[in-house]
Amino acid sequence: MYRSLSLLFCFLFSLLLSTSVAAQSGSDFNWTEYIDRQSDELYEKVVEWRRHFHQYPELSNREFETAKVIEAHLRDLGLEVQTGIAHTGVVGILEGGKPGPVVGLRADMDALPVRERVDLPFASRVEAEYLGEIVPVMHACGHDTHMAILMGVAEMLTNVKDEIPGTVKFIFQPAEEGTPPGEDGGAEMMVEEGVLKDPDVEVIFGLHIGSQLPIGHINYRPGGIMAASNRFSIEVKGVQTHGARPWGGVDPIVASAQIINNLQSIVSRQTELTKEAAVITVGIIRAGVRNNIIPEDAYMEGTIRTLDTDMQERLFEQMHRTVEYTAKSFGAEATLTIYDGYPVTYNDPELTAMMAPTLEKVAGPENTHVVNAITGAEDFSFFQREIPGLYFFIGGMPAEMNPADAAPHHTPDFYIEEEGMKTGLRAMANLAIDYMLMD
């Protein structure tokens, strides 16, 4: 009974929204119908763009050829185009034929150092240099689909630009996965270089396709939806000795192993996990050059994920204490460095409530879900620090598949069902237009 009433309420709310939008627009133009039709008609183009990006991926801050493809498309549409923002970023500006607000739509561009194992005719065989090594490159997080979706939205809206009550900024952002050490870039640099200015963007929308969310579904959450992320490094200093005489020195590898274990106890025993989740992961450890030599030093690198600022500060303090005193207990010395990272991806509650009926219109109330926050991170959060933003997830998993059997993001077997991009097309276009018509 409650479910039926809830669905009825959502239907009536969406109907009222559509009526209100039509009344405010003063036009007989049916935006929902147009966007639905265009999403189907442009789908083959969008798939073609996606497959090109997938076959020829580029790493963070190296998206040179990717940027050229995007730039050419936006120029062909007749948009004002800006390039070289945050090194390789591209922005297209579509000024509508009617007055209204400026809305930002964002897609990320970079790929990852992952070797693809999925058997696709357009699978990546690209290799590139990363941290001084030649590595395989793959779009193992779906950014290829994000770019293709936004290119499709740009075309469908440009086709009827005289009907648009406002301006759309199409923001193609490099280096979402993080810049190489020693380089700047990404959303933070785009903001610093004025991507949200001239004309000033009022709100911004972004999406992420999910390999473990069924196609046709949308997940969102008001407030914090993704975690803050901080990279850290640890240098452990021991005393070198022969591998057969460990008592003759101080073993930084054993000390490092215990540091890793003790870092995990911060999360499991010192963090209030009933409040918010937290994660400390060591992803890199390097030490030694030979099996029978205990080396002088060891190096570790990892990531910290938090969803609460106070918890983040306490966790940093606990990490410094744990690293220092664990090393001392072995007679070693250790230095922990925590780097600035991404803030919490925070969906403005008022904007989210305002646009939730649009998401339900796109996917249907039964396929639109308010979810718990996740410990992944997104530098879309830098845009949201400046202006209200809404970030959401669309499904990219075959509908009949069990999510437990779907490969997660950032893995060689990551796979996206392309049909899910239709939901992205409809969602991004409807969000932009509905916001303009309600403004």
Q: Which residues are the active-site residues?
A: 342, 418
| Residue appearing with tokens 């779009």 | 139
How many angstroms separate the Cα of 139 from the Cα of each of 12, 286, 403? Answer: 40, 27, 20
- Nearest 5°: phi and psi at 426? -65, -40
The answer to whether the Cα torsion of 78, 82, 84, 86 is positive or negative is negative
CA atoms within 13 A on the CB side of 415: 14
Token output for 212? 């473990």
Beta strand residue intervals within 152-246, DSSP E:
165-173, 203-214, 218-220, 223-226, 228-237, 241-242
Q: How far apart are the first and last CA of the chain?
A: 35
Phi-psi bin for 420: left (phi > 0), alpha (psi -120 to 50), beta? alpha
For tokens 């990272």, what's the residue? Answer: 341
Indicate the burial class of 275 (C-beta count within 10 angstroms; 0-12, 13-18, 19 or more). Answer: exposed
